[in-house]
Structures are given as C-alpha cells and as structure tokens.
Structure 1
Amino acid sequence: MRARSTRLAGVALAAGLGIASLAACSSGADASSGSTSGGNAGSGGKKIALLLPESKTTRYETFDRPLFEAAVKASCADCTVLYSNADQDAGKQQQQAEAALTQGANVLVLDPVDGKAAASVVASAKGSGIPVVAYDRFIQGADYYVSFDNATVGKIQAQTLVDLVKKGGKTSGDLVMINGSPTDPNAADFKAGAHSVLDGSGFKIAAEYDTPDWSPDKAQQWMEGQVSAVKGNLVGVYAANDGTAGGAIAALKGGGVNPLPPVTGQDSELAAIQRILAGDQAMTIYKPIKPEAEAAAKAAIALANKQTPQKTSDFKSIAATILDPIAVTKDKIKDTVVKDGIYKTADICSGAVAAACTSAGIS
C-alpha cells in the first residue's frame, strides 16, 4: 500500500520462500481440492488444508483459493489441498479444521473467521504436532504469518480520504467511519491506522460503526440511520473495505446525498473499480493476492516437510512475510489491477462505465 512497486517485490519474496521447499516435494499427480478430498493415495505427497473464512468478500473464492492451489501444484505436484470455506461461521470453521486433521493434514493454512476463537484451532493442531500458517489475518500462536501491513492499510485509506476532502476545498466538517468486523484482528489494525490519521486531521468523526461479519447490508442499514444526522455537514466516509463502501454509497444515494462525499474502500473488487470510474467511490486498496497466496503455499510446503520457511520479518514474535498494500484511485487503475491482469478490461469497462474507462485510458 505504499507508493513503491510492491507487486514485483512480493513476487520475489514468494519465489524466495520456495527455494528450500521445492526439493522436498516429488513430482506426481496434480494437486486436488475440495472439503472432503482424500489426497493422492500412495504418492507420498503432503496434505495441506486451506481454510478460508467467508464468501461475501469476493476475493476468497475468485482469487485466494485458485491462486493458492496453483502455487501448491507448481511447487509440489503430489501435494493435495484440502479446501473448506466457513461462510463466516467460527464454529463451522473449527469443525472444518478438525475434519482436516482427521483426514491427515500435514499443515493448516488458516484465515480465521474469529481471530481469538481460532486460537483453539491452533492449540488442537499443535496438540497433534501439526503446524499452522495464519493467512491474511493474524492468529496468536501460529507458526507462520502471511499478510499485508494492515495498520498501513488504514493509514493510507485515511490519508487519501483527508487529501481528497481538502482537495475539494473542505477544511472542516464531519466524517463517518464504517470499520470492519469486531472479530477480525485485521479490522482492528485498519481502524487503529485510520484513527492515527483522522484524529488529528481537523475533521470531526461524527459517528463510527464496527460492521458485524463485514456485512455490506449491515453497513448500509447503519449508514441509512446516520444520513439525516450528518447530511448537512458530511465531507467524507471511511469505509474499511469495498463491501461496506458499497453499502454506504447505496445508503447515501438513497438518502438523497448529492454530490457524494469521498468514500474509501479495500480489496479492489470489480464493483468497486467500476464505482471509482463512475465517481461514486474515491479509492480502494489493492493488495496483490498472488504473492500473498504464493508465500503462504511456500511456507506451508516447507512446514509440512518439517523445514523452516524463509521470512521477511517477525510479527508479534511469529516468523512472517509482510507485503505492502497500494492505494488505487481512478488514475491508478490501469497500472495496478489492469496491468496485473486481475480483471479483463472488457469486464471493467462494461455498461455505464465504458466512457469513464476511455477517459481514464483503459481500453
């Protein structure tokens, strides 16, 4: 999320993590996936459980899962991925983790629904001698952590918001904050990073909300209840991700707010990129998922083979790969999500945003 080219650095880091683990895996059958996958019997390959938290945020099924599976297959052809999605249910995720251990998983790659509740999953795995990679969201006690600099995410969102509000000629006024899920440890980091900028910005935080389950619907309902109170003096909306941003924007439009104030976001979802082009959303955060998924796969393979994965840093005393996020405004779309092939231009530039794509140099 900093103004340097982190995509290439992230890929290099991910590649570096695989050097030791490549030799440990023999070639064989292709990696498979599925919540009940039994693995490649007799191949000697390791079983790697990938446990993702939910599907409301489009990134997990669209990017994280296929990119992780491809990275495992590329580095360890006879490894098997045991995949599960918890649908935002911490209890369900714990059951999925237990099922993976029963199926003989050699390592868990866990993106927790609830960071605190996930500590029991880590304890259960370690009791069976199975290491855990905390993926995208931190878990105390994990053996390795792969994510982005989450406090910096909040700082970049907030600083971009303040800069855009001031660019629009405002030096005072009300902001509202729509934070992420209170059970997501990353959300607390985003929130803290944002407050470190907004609290001293000269603008007033008139209302603030922690969104259960990152639900766009709940964010919209809350924002609908705030519109009448802040409508006359609202200058900006801090939304922690693109889903909550979409909910906020729908509420503002429904409440007759025109023009819309700048609204932040995160995850570079396709709908958010289109809203930015249309002028409804001010920015999003691009977190290149490919290097994150690749780094997690390399670390998981190394740990499954009882090797020590390479690290870029330590995070709360846990070996980690920490990548940098990138702010995306309209003028940055072409050089980020388009350049990296995250979306096809035909998918972005459809319907009402076609003309905006042309003016932004996207074709």
Structure 2
Amino acid sequence: MKKSGGLILVTAVLMALVMSVSGCAVKSQTGVDHTEEASASERIQIGVTFDSFINERWLRDRDVFVSRARELGADVNVQNANGDVKEQIDQIGYFIDKKVDVIMIVAVDSASLGDVVKKAHDHNIRVISYDRLVTDSGTDLYVSFDNEAVGKLMANSIIDSLPHGGRILKITGPEKDHNVSLVNEGFDKRIRGHQISIVDDFAAPFWKSEEAYDYLNAHEEDMRGVQAIMCGNDALAGGVIQFLAENRMAGHVIVTGQDADLDACQRIAEGTQAMTVYKPIEELAGKAAECAVKIAKGEEIEDSLTISDGTYDVPYVRLEPQSVNRDNLDSVIIDSGFHMREDVYLHMER
C-alpha cells in the first residue's frame, strides 16, 4: 500500500510539473504575439499616391522609396491614381481614415489638392510634395530636383547645336503639372538673346508619347524648317522620334528629353535623340523616404531651402540634375549603374 501511495504521489507531482510547464509555454507564446503586435503597431505608417505609372521612372521612384522606408522601420501603402485627380483625392482621404503618419503625393493636378491637404493637416498628418509641388496648400516639405535647371540644360543643348539660332518646337507636359511651368521658365530664360524662334508650344495632357506623335502628324506644316524640338520628357521624345523616323528626319532634328529612360538612352547611343536630363532617382527617392521618417518622428529636416507654393513658403530639399548626351552617356548612366551597358547598346551593331 505504501508503494502504491508513493507511486500515486510521484505521478501527481509529475502531472503538476507538466501542467506548470505547459502553462508557462502558453504564456510565453502569448507574450511573444503581443510584443510583435505592439511592435507592428508602433511602426511609422506612410501613404504614397502616385499620379500614374505610365512613365518608366515612377516605378523606379516607388521601388526605391518603399525599400528605403522599410529599412528605416516604416510601412508604406502605395496607391496609383491613374491620372485621375478625383481618384487621388479619394486616396488621400483613405490615408487620412487609416491615420497614417505621413502622406507623400506625386500630384495629378498641383492646384486641386489644397482642401484635402488641409484635411490631412487637421488630422495631424504631415504631407510631402514629391517631385511636383502641390500649390497653395502649405505642404510640410517639397522634395525634388531643380526644375528650372532642367529647362536650362535642355536649352543649352539646343543653343550649342544651333549657335546661329533657328526654329524650334516645344512639346511639354500638362499645364496642371507645376514642374512644367518651372522647366519652361528655365528654358525660356536661357534661350533669350540666342535668335531662337519658338514656332509652336504644345502641352501634352497626359505625358503620353502618342500625344506628341499625333500632334506632329496633325501639324506637319509646322515642321518645315524646324531644327530642334524641346520635349518635356523622354516619353514625349519617343513619340517625336517615331514621327521623325517615319519621315526620314530622325537624327537630323535635335530632340531633347528628361528622365534618362532606357529607350531614351538607347536613342542617344543611336544618334536620334540629342540629350536627356538625368535625375538620380535613387538619391531623390531615398532622400524622400529619410525625410518622411524624420518628419513622422517630429525631427527637423536639415539644410532645406524654401520655395513658394503661391501662398506659403514650403521647406524644399533640392537635388541637381545632369545633362546626358553621347559624350557622357557611359560615364553618367552606365558607370553609375542606372542602366546596364548591354541594355543601352542593345540595338547597336557589335
């Protein structure tokens, strides 16, 4: 009987130990889950709304921004407005409802977002204008390249190629894009006094290459005697060069662009596009991500300038663009890793 009683006692003690250990395991697991949930909820939340992804460069901006923000401990929700300002306003409203810490905007229409930016501010959400300044709204920060300098670089290429002046066309982006006015301002200032006559100035509504192509097809008479075409970006330059190629004029008319898209760099290598403006997207998008995290934490942005949005002076982080032509295509584009050599020279005879 004593032996049986001892066995029962040992068994009871073992069962108690097992239950105690099991209880600790459950508690420990539960504790880990709560910690992870708390950690996730404490991460900075950033909402980003893009105009569209029609242009190659915006995909690169998106990927670099998201990657860098995550490295810095932030979660990013990216939305695409597909060129629809109402959709973009709805997306910003969605971010406000989600109570994100920062909203970054690549504006569809720079002049139409003032009310929704104010609503974000009323909810203590900071707002960044990315690459395109949202006007009359007092966003907390503007991160972009020097857009007047972009226009000057385009003008320099045309002036160098037409030392005695000449007739040119301008095919730019939509007037609702504030950057277009800045690029035009820089371009127009630079060509003054160089006997350059602007035959026509067309604003493509959606930055699409086919808009430039269709415009030239409908205005062939304007091409008579035109020696250069200033294109607001590389997509528009692509439509222009398609038209020129079909009319056996490619390589005989100076064409400028912007963004250093791969196909533009290929055309520069082939001699059908004179230049593009390179804007190191990794630097811009990475800097924007760093600034977004800083302002979410309430930290100051060092070394910022200011720019007027028409009503308010907005802190401005400005980066410098660079002109790219056949002479420096390799050193700027390929050596930096922006595009691969085999891709840039894909269509060239080896």
Which TM-score applies when normalising by structure 1? Answer: 0.81
Matched with 2:33 is none
Q: Distance in 1 between matches of 2:339 and 2:349?
A: 15
Deviation at 1:182, TM superposition (A): 0.9
Q: Percent identity?
A: 27
Q: 1:245-299 CA distances to partner (integer Å, 9 max, x unpaired)?
A: 1111112222343652110000000000000001110000000111111111111
1:131 aligns to 2:123 (yes or no): no
Matched with 1:181 is 174
Amino acid at match of 1:323: L
CA contact (8 A) 1:303 1:309 kept: yes
Match of 2:49 among 48, 51, 54: 51
1:116 aligns to 2:111 (yes or no): yes
Q: Distance in 2 between matches of 1:153 and 1:220?
A: 23
Matched with 2:203 is 210
Q: Distance in 1 between matches of 2:307 and 2:321?
A: 17
Within-5 A mapping of 1:56-67: 56-61=54-59, 63-67=60-64
CA contact (8 A) 2:199 2:222 kept: no
Q: 1:10-36 CA distances to partner (integer Å, 9 max, x unpaired)?
A: xxxxxxxxxxxxxxxxxxxxxxxxxxx
Matched with 2:246 is 254
Matched with 2:147 is 150
Matched with 2:28 is none
Deviation at 1:42, TM superposition (A): 4.2
For residue 211 of structure 2, give the secondary structure of its aligned residue in structure 1: helix
1:94 aligns to 2:92 (yes or no): no
CA contact (8 A) 1:138 1:145 kept: yes
The structure-2 alpha-carbon separation of the partners of 1:42 and 1:295, relative to structure 1 and needing over 3 Å to count, comes to closer
1:353 aligns to 2:345 (yes or no): no
Matched with 1:3 is none
CA contact (8 A) 2:47 2:76 kept: yes
Deviation at 1:96, TM superposition (A): 1.1
Amino acid at match of 1:315: I
The structure-2 alpha-carbon separation of the partners of 1:40 and 1:137, relative to structure 1 and needing over 3 Å to count, comes to farther
CA contact (8 A) 2:169 2:228 kept: yes
Q: Distance in 1 between matches of 2:38 and 2:212?
A: 44
Amino acid at match of 1:49: G
Amino acid at match of 2:131: D
Deviation at 1:308, TM superposition (A): 2.1
Count of aligned residue pairs for this structure pair: 308
Q: Distance in 1 between matches of 2:263 and 2:160?
A: 23
CA contact (8 A) 1:311 1:320 kept: no
Compute the RMSD of aligned alpha carbons. 1.7
Deviation at 1:219, TM superposition (A): 1.2
Deviation at 1:354, TM superposition (A): 4.4
Moved more, 130-139 or 115-124: 115-124
Q: Distance in 1 between matches of 2:81 and 2:349?
A: 36
Deviation at 1:41, TM superposition (A): 7.2
Q: Distance in 1 between matches of 2:115 and 2:348?
A: 46
Matched with 2:18 is none
Moved more, 147-156 or 298-307: 298-307
Matched with 2:255 is 263
Q: Which has the larger radius of gyration?
A: 2
Deviation at 1:177, TM superposition (A): 0.7
Q: 1:156-205 CA distances to partner (integer Å, 9 max, x unpaired)?
A: 10111111233xxxx24311111111110001111111111224220211
The structure-2 alpha-carbon separation of the partners of 1:136 and 1:259, relative to structure 1 and needing over 3 Å to count, comes to closer
Q: Distance in 2 between matches of 1:107 and 1:159?
A: 38
Bigger relative contact order, structure 1 or 2, given CA contacts below 8 A and separation 6+? 1
Deviation at 1:307, TM superposition (A): 2.3
Q: 1:116-143 CA distances to partner (integer Å, 9 max, x unpaired)?
A: 0122231121121111011111123100
Match of 1:160 among 151, 157, 160: 157
The structure-2 alpha-carbon separation of the partners of 1:186 and 1:40, relative to structure 1 and needing over 3 Å to count, comes to farther
CA contact (8 A) 1:224 1:252 kept: no
Matched with 2:281 is 289
Q: Distance in 2 between matches of 1:83 and 1:104?
A: 15
